[in-house]
Amino acid sequence: MHYISDSNVAFNSVFHIVRDVNNGWLIRYIHANGASFFFIFVYVHIAKAIYYGGYLRVSLWISGIAIFFIMMGTAFLGYVLPWGQMSFWGATVITNFASAIPYIGKNIVYWVWGGFSVGAPTLSRFFAFHFILPFILSAMVIIHLILLHVNGSSNPLGLKNNYDFTSFHPYFLVKDLHGLVIASIFFSIIIFWFPNYLGDAENFIQANPLVTPVHIVPEWYFLFAYAILRWVPNKLLGLICLVLSILALCLLPFLHTSKKQSLSFRPIGKIFFWWFIFNFILLTWLGMKLVEYPYFNASIISSILYFSFLFLIPYSGKIDNKLIF
């Protein structure tokens, strides 16, 4: 209601919300940090689905990946809106990757920008789409829940029949409420004591097309994909690797070779899984570092391991079967 999607006043309107609007600071920090917590929960949710074999419910898994893509798009659009230095240059760098598409790439970039550089038209349309996409996201979440109801959820034992399942209420309802209370405590600590901890200091400087930040980085939840993107010297291949870092998740149901759904009873699969989690955290850390030795070299190795583990986790069933039988 108070934000103005105009490149001349967008930056000041955000600070007007924080300083002058009643409880505007609270709404702004809940919104900004809420996005970070949303991604934390989604990453944990995806990891849990991989560990317990939830990806074997193909329609449910694909709908979840679609939700993740829409989330990433919504978060990127929202990051541009404060019109700080990192917002502006992040938008410039990310949208420029479309220019790698042969023949039509440059025209697509100019079409997205609404001009020959990131400016007022870009900000206006990004604001519109940032408002629209959450409605599409909500619809996808409803579809995801319907598919979950039809297919049923995964479980630590990997059971597929309906006879040994536990009802959601009251057992899991109480468990989820317990988790919600703990998450709310951490969320409150971030909002009231460290509201800008997950942001970038450069975004407190108004966007200036004539001054490039020393080190351009996206928000922390994109850093793993950014690290994968940066190590590829070719722009088009880098863009393909960026998309594949998420799209490769869709292949997991078709690579599954184990007789067991869950990793609970697959020792080799467990090792691959926890190495994958460690590697994901390492990629996130490498994504915020400068493109220099040894971080660049580590990014190359870590990116290769990222894709390797994605294929090895479901395929590890064959190795586990040989070890057990």
The average confidence (pLDDT) of the chain is: 90
Number of domains in the chain: 2
Mean per-residue pLDDT, 241-259 = 89
DSSP 250-312: GGHHHH---S-SSGGG-HHHHHHHHHHHHHHHHHHHHHTS-SSTTHHHHHHHHHHHHHHHHHH
Q: Does residue 310 contact residue 250 with C-beta atoms inside 8 Å?
A: no
What pLDDT, on a 0 to 100 scale, did the predictor assign at position 233? Answer: 84
Q: Would you say 225 and 303 are in contact if contact means Cβ atoms under 8 Å apart?
A: no
Tell me, yes or no, whether 155 and 283 share the same domain. no
Q: How confident is the model at residue 164 (pLDDT cuts 50, 70, 90)?
A: low
Q: Specify the range with the lowest mean pLDDT, choosing from 103-112, 166-175, 186-195.
A: 166-175
DSSP 27-60: HHHHHHHHHHHHHHHHHHHHHHHHHTTGGGSHHH
Task: Indicate the DSSP class of residue 168.
Answer: I
| Catalytic residue (one of 138, 176, 184, 188) | 176
- 248 shares a domain with 188: no
Q: Looking at the structure, do residues 260 and 184 belong to the same domain, yes or no?
A: no
Say yes or no: 66 and 179 in one domain.
yes
| 249 shares a domain with 210 | no
**CATH number, domain at 262?**
1.10.287
Considering the domain architecture, whether residues 64 and 157 belong to the same structural domain is answered as yes
Considering 31, 106, 149, 215, which one is annotated as catalytic?
Answer: 149
Q: Identify the band that residue 256 occupies on the pLDDT scale cut at 50, 70 and 90.
A: confident
pLDDT at 167: 77
Q: Residue 230: is its pLDDT beyond 70?
A: yes
Which among 167, 192, 216 is the end of a domain?
A: 216
Given 170, 200, 216, which residue is the final one in a domain? Answer: 216
What CATH number does residue 62 fall under? 1.20.810.10
Question: Is residue 124 exposed (0-12), middle (13-18) or buried (19+ Cβ within 10 Å)?
Answer: middle
3-class state of residue 272 by DSSP? helix
Same domain, 12 and 63: yes
Stretch 106-126: mean pLDDT, rounded?
Answer: 93
10 Å Cβ neighbour count for 31?
11
- Taking residues 18-27, what's their average pLDDT? 95
Q: Does residue 175 register a pLDDT over 80?
A: yes
List the end-to-end C-alpha distance of the chain, in Å, as a whole number. Answer: 64
- Residue 280 structural domain: 218-325
Structure confidence by residue, pLDDT tens digits, 34-77: 999 999 999 999 999 999 988 999 999 999 999 999 999 999 99
Whether 118 and 39 map to the same domain: the answer is yes
Shared domain for 8 and 152, answered yes or no, is yes
Among 172, 193, 216, the domain boundary falls at 216
The per-residue pLDDT for 310 is 87
Q: Please write the tens of the pLDDT for every residue from 269-287.
A: 899 999 999 999 999 999 9
Predicted pLDDT of residue 162: 60
Question: Helix or strand or coil: residue 206?
Answer: strand
310/200 same-domain check: no
In the chain, what's the furthest Cα-to-Cα distance? 69
pLDDT at 44: 96
In angstroms, the CA 323 to CA 181 distance is 42
Span of 126-135, 154-163, 239-248 with lowest mean pLDDT:
154-163
Q: Are residues 207 and 291 in the same domain?
A: no
Listed range (137-146, 214-223, 251-260) with the worst mean pLDDT: 251-260
Strand partners, 206: 84
Would residue 169 show up in a list of annotated catalytic residues for this protein? no
259 is catalytic: no
A 10 A CB-CB count for 47 gives 14
Residue 92 and residue 32 share a domain? yes
Catalytic residue among 219, 258, 316, 320, which? 219
219 is catalytic: yes
Residue tagged active-site, from 175, 178, 259, 318: 175
CA angle 91, 284, 316 (to 5 degrees): 125
- The two structure tokens encoding residue 68: 């993740």
